[in-house]
């Protein structure tokens, strides 16, 4: 399977760290965040990875071209940001009409991508996407999920004061190719998946909870916590649906 890894953002919430370094190259315990992603994906047998760039793109390009995975990575530059859905649409030919994974490179994670893909392949009828979920220690800052007994997403609660739980959207998805047609039908090159596309699939999204580490490093405090926690975790994570445990 192919993976689109989103890495174009400016990282304004992470200033001053991102003043001279793109967010995906911020170091966690001496290693760029992007390298954790690439190792995770390619060790799991992912075929190819597409990375979109924009802010400080030349640094990302140089890092990728010097990496041991360079032959399996494609880079695409966005002169103007297209939004997550716009990036998918602009690169639809790269997906070759097949299901694909989309992930935000500003999360530090050790989830089991093979488990996520396997869960998607066994998803309930009518579901066109599978979403990684995780337990957050700051539910007010996340998109909190409500699930039914099949682990289907029944409702989203986006950054509300009193969310009904702490199971959050992990911003990693497996999409069926039909999703691209739905993005295209909006008739605009700039599309945001989280606000314009995904909410329309409530009751048709499988949620897969990871029992591993997962944290958005989008602000300095989150980065500090990630650096303190990640080296102390008991082992690599995995993804699972509750009914399969």
Q: Where are the domains of the chain?
A: 2-244
Q: Is the pLDDT at 116 greater than 80, yes or no?
A: yes
Position 235 scores a pLDDT of: 43
* Range with lowest mean pLDDT among 39-53, 66-80, 134-148: 134-148
Q: Which three-class secondary structure state does DSSP give residue 80?
A: coil
Q: Which three-class secondary structure state does DSSP give residue 180?
A: helix
Q: Is the pLDDT at 220 greater than 80, yes or no?
A: yes
The tokens 């990375």 sit on which residue?
51
- Burial profile 212-222: b = 16 or more Cβ within 10 angstroms, e = fewer: bbbbbbbbeeb
Written as six digits, the tokens of 186 are 């909006």
Strand bridging mode 205-210 / 239-240: antiparallel
> What is the model's pTM?
0.90
Distance CA 198, CA 188 (A): 16
Position 232 scores a pLDDT of: 55
pLDDT-derived band at 245 (thresholds 50, 70, 90) equals very low
- 240 or 126, greater pLDDT: 126
pLDDT-derived band at 113 (thresholds 50, 70, 90) equals very high
- 214 or 245, greater pLDDT: 214
Which of 114, 34, 110 shows the shortest CA–CA distance to 69?
A: 34
Strand bridging mode 214-216 / 107-109: antiparallel
* Range with lowest mean pLDDT among 51-55, 61-65, 165-169: 165-169
Position 139 scores a pLDDT of: 80
Written as six digits, the tokens of 101 are 């994974």
CATH of domain 2-244: 3.90.550.10
């Amino acid at each position: 399977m192919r993976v689109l890894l989103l890495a174009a953002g400016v990282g304004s919430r992470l200033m001053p760290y991102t003043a001279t370094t793109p967010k995906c190259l911020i170091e966690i315990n001496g290693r760029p965040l992007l390298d954790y992603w690439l190792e995770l994906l390619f060790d799991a047998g992912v075929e190819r990875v597409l990375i979109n760039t924009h802010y400080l793109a030349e640094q990302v390009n140089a890092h990728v071209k010097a990496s041991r995975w360079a032959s399996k990575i494609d880079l695409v530059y966005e002169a103007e940001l297209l939004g997550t859905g716009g990036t998918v649409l602009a690169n639809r030919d790269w997906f070759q009409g097949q299901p694909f994974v989309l992930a935000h490179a500003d999360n530090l994670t050790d989830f089991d991508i093979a488990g996520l893909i396997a869960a998607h392949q066994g998803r309930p009828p009518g579901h066109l996407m599978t979403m990684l979920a995780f337990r957050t220690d700051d539910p007010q800052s996340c998109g909190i999920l409500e699930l039914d007994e099949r682990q289907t997403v029944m409702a989203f609660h986006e950054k509300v004061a009193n969310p009904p739980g702490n199971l959050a959207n992990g911003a990693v998805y497996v999409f069926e190719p039909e999703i691209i047609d739905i993005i295209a039908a909006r008739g605009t090159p700039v599309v945001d998946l989280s606000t314009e596309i995904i909410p329309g699939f409530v009751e048709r999204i499988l949620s897969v909870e990871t029992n591993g580490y997962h944290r958005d490093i989008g602000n300095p405090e989150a980065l500090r916590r990630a650096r303190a926690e990640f080296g102390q975790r008991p082992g690599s994570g995995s993804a699972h649906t509750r009914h399969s445990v």
